[in-house]
Structure 1
Amino acid sequence: MQRLLQQASVDFFPHGLAFLDSTRKRAFAFEKIGPGAALIDTEKMQLIEPIPPVKDRLFYGHGACSADGQLLYSTETAATGEGAIGVRETGSLRYVGDFPTYGSHPHDCHLIENGAVLAVTNGGGDQASGKRASICYIDIQSQKLLDRIEMTDERFNAGHIFPLTERRSVLLSAPRRGWNDEHIGAVSIQRDSQTLEIMSQPTDVVNNMFGEALSVLAIPAADFFVATHPTPGMVTIWQLSSGKLIKRLDLPRARGVALSRDKKGVWISYGAEASMVQMRLADFSLGPNVPGTYITGSHLFSL
């Protein structure tokens, strides 16, 4: 397998990317809980321009670009934990305002319904705060809250989501704020506008989800989704319609997931040597392996 590694140098550790348009030639990168953000040329792999934080807030790892490509929305948090969506012009990078995430410590965000609604996860506070994690759906034009679905189990935060139709999502969770990897995370399916179904079976799998459940990729047409669990070294595959476990793969430090270009497999980043392996969608077996990629972050993105 022939491969070419290209790197773009930035002065922070990027967590998530927001692509400007379908060509994926430019992307906004965000630090997780830090002041770092930048516009990157993903074709030349060069830094175009850094993006400074505002109002003493920190970026929280993710963002999304408006359907017309004119505005950038980013998850940000204040020192108090209060969440905000920062709004900037994609051309000038000028900060033009913000609106609340309707929760604390926001993280992931996705534009849905042709860019009219923003789905945001709020991680919530620590156990003493009384602030639970949630998924919030916010109308972009009015900036008003449309739906809020709270995490029913106080042990878990709300981390990464994969939006489905009708304002439903697959949700991955880490232990709530202030808890370490000795506590378990969770995988949930939002079935309707009111409830989250937390996967509870099989117990030998869910009770082994120590630390965060990290990256998620759903393929609704095939009725399944994939989740990674770095701390125990697992990849879990679940049926969307029933919530039943289809398969568990043991893969050390499994982190990012991305659909292959031919849509016949899913690339997974894993291991201490920053390897990548492709999981075949036909039977969920592991195929081509690429060692030593230097891809060590939380997520993968296809260009």
Structure 2
Amino acid sequence: MAIAPNQEHAVMFARRPGSYAMVFDYVSGNIHTLIPAQSDRHFYGHGVYSNDGRWLYATEGERSTSHGIVGVYDVENGYRKVEEFSGFGIGPHEIITMSDGRLVVGVGGVHTQGRSPLNLDTMNPSLSYLSESGELLEQVSLQDKHKSIRHLAHDGEHTVLCGQQYRGEPDDYVPLVAMHRKGEALVELGGDPEDWARFDHYVASIAATESHILATSPRGNCYGIWDKATRELLEINALPDASGVVVTNGEFHVSSGIGRVVKINADLAKQTFVSGIQWDNHWSAIT
């Protein structure tokens, strides 16, 4: 979901690769606009509004090549597509905005046909920063090119977090979460191979408070918590189909596909609720 900062709009993107995005009123539930993908494009399942709410940015790709595109939609003119940004790689996934307006794109680097990967030997993932006008400002990558950078978060200040899907050898268990600050290298979070094996090569959602980082793995049926300052892995907790995570009032809220919701305070004390709703991979907080 993309949540508008200045009106009661949200956008649901068809699961990747998908052919539409649906704008709706999250109070009434009424559909506002249906945005179809161009015939030679598809959506990658993520998007974000500009900080002033004027533009909607969506990650897209060319169907034949997975060439990465950020589609720019004019909110005030019925979500009409007005521009495309490119030149940062193939297979973009999540996109977020920083407080200064910069766009951050998790570029997976994988050319797919449907969901089948076609270029695992040559994939080139990256974390790419774009200006509001589409200029490529900075691009960093991990040493292991089989780590497809997909899901993103930031801590409200200057640190970007990225979660990876590992596309290498199935018996290799490698770090799947990294953090980045402007002008620096990507730094991976801690954990032994047997810890990372719990995540089953896939991280879905990430969030950060002032002191901690949390990442979920629906495939691994767990979530991990790290110390933000030391990058040390503090704990891994079992949660079937662990899905979305958001931070509200300095506390984590974690969802799951079986309906459980876990609330985690600053001291990492936990409360578990049963919601009766089977949640998917991500959560967005409306404030």
| TM-score normalised per structure 1 | 0.83
Identity %: 25
Segment drifting more, 123-132 vs 229-238: 123-132
Distance 1:85 1:259, change over 3 A: same
Indicate the SS of the match to 2:24.
strand
Indicate the SS of the match to 1:34.
coil
Matched, 1:61 2:53: no
Partner residue of 1:298?
281
| Contact preservation (8 Å) 1:189, 1:198 | yes
Partner residue of 2:115?
none
- Where structure 1 has 5 or more consecutive residues not aligned to the other structure, the ranges are 1-16
| Contact preservation (8 Å) 2:74, 2:80 | yes
Residue number among 75, 82, 86 corresponding to 1:96 in the alignment? 82
Partner residue of 1:14?
none
| Contact preservation (8 Å) 2:208, 2:247 | no
Residue number among 123, 136, 153 corresponding to 2:108 in the alignment? 123
| Contact preservation (8 Å) 1:256, 1:269 | yes
Partner residue of 1:108?
94
Indicate the SS of the match to 2:84.
strand
Partner Cα distance (2:268, 2:170) in 1 = 27
Matched, 1:136 2:128: yes
> Shift in Å at residue 181 of structure 1?
7.8
Partner Cα distance (1:34, 1:78) in 2 = 12
Matched, 1:190 2:173: no
Partner Cα distance (1:269, 1:124) in 2 = 28
| Contact preservation (8 Å) 2:154, 2:207 | no
| Contact preservation (8 Å) 1:277, 1:286 | no
Partner Cα distance (2:71, 2:185) in 1 = 28
Partner Cα distance (1:33, 1:181) in 2 = 24
Distance 1:55 1:197, change over 3 A: same
> Shift in Å at residue 131 of structure 1?
3.1
> Shift in Å at residue 200 of structure 1?
4.5
Residue number among 241, 244, 247 corresponding to 2:232 in the alignment? 244
| Contact preservation (8 Å) 1:265, 1:278 | no
Distance 1:180 1:299, change over 3 A: farther
Residue number among 219, 224, 233 corresponding to 2:221 in the alignment? 233
Segment drifting more, 185-194 vs 59-68: 185-194
Residue number among 195, 199, 204 corresponding to 2:194 in the alignment? 204
Indicate the SS of the match to 1:131.
coil
Q: How do 1:175-186 residues align onto structure 2 when only pairs under 5 Å count? A: 175-176=166-167, 186=176
Distance 1:291 1:111, change over 3 A: closer
Partner Cα distance (1:230, 1:181) in 2 = 17
Residue number among 134, 139, 148 corresponding to 1:148 in the alignment? 139
| Contact preservation (8 Å) 1:137, 1:167 | no
Segment drifting more, 194-203 vs 238-247: 194-203
Partner Cα distance (1:118, 1:193) in 2 = 15
Partner Cα distance (1:288, 1:84) in 2 = 40
Distance 1:50 1:182, change over 3 A: farther
| TM-score normalised per structure 2 | 0.87
Q: Which amino acid aligns with 2:66?
A: G
Partner Cα distance (2:250, 2:160) in 1 = 23
> Shift in Å at residue 265 of structure 1?
3.3
Residue number among 48, 69, 73 corresponding to 1:84 in the alignment? 69
| Contact preservation (8 Å) 1:217, 1:227 | yes
Q: How many residues align?
A: 275
Partner Cα distance (1:111, 1:119) in 2 = 6
Distance 1:279 1:204, change over 3 A: farther
- Where structure 2 has 5 or more consecutive residues not aligned to the other structure, the ranges are 111-117
Residue number among 225, 237, 256 corresponding to 2:244 in the alignment? 256
Partner Cα distance (1:277, 1:119) in 2 = 28
Partner Cα distance (2:262, 2:191) in 1 = 26
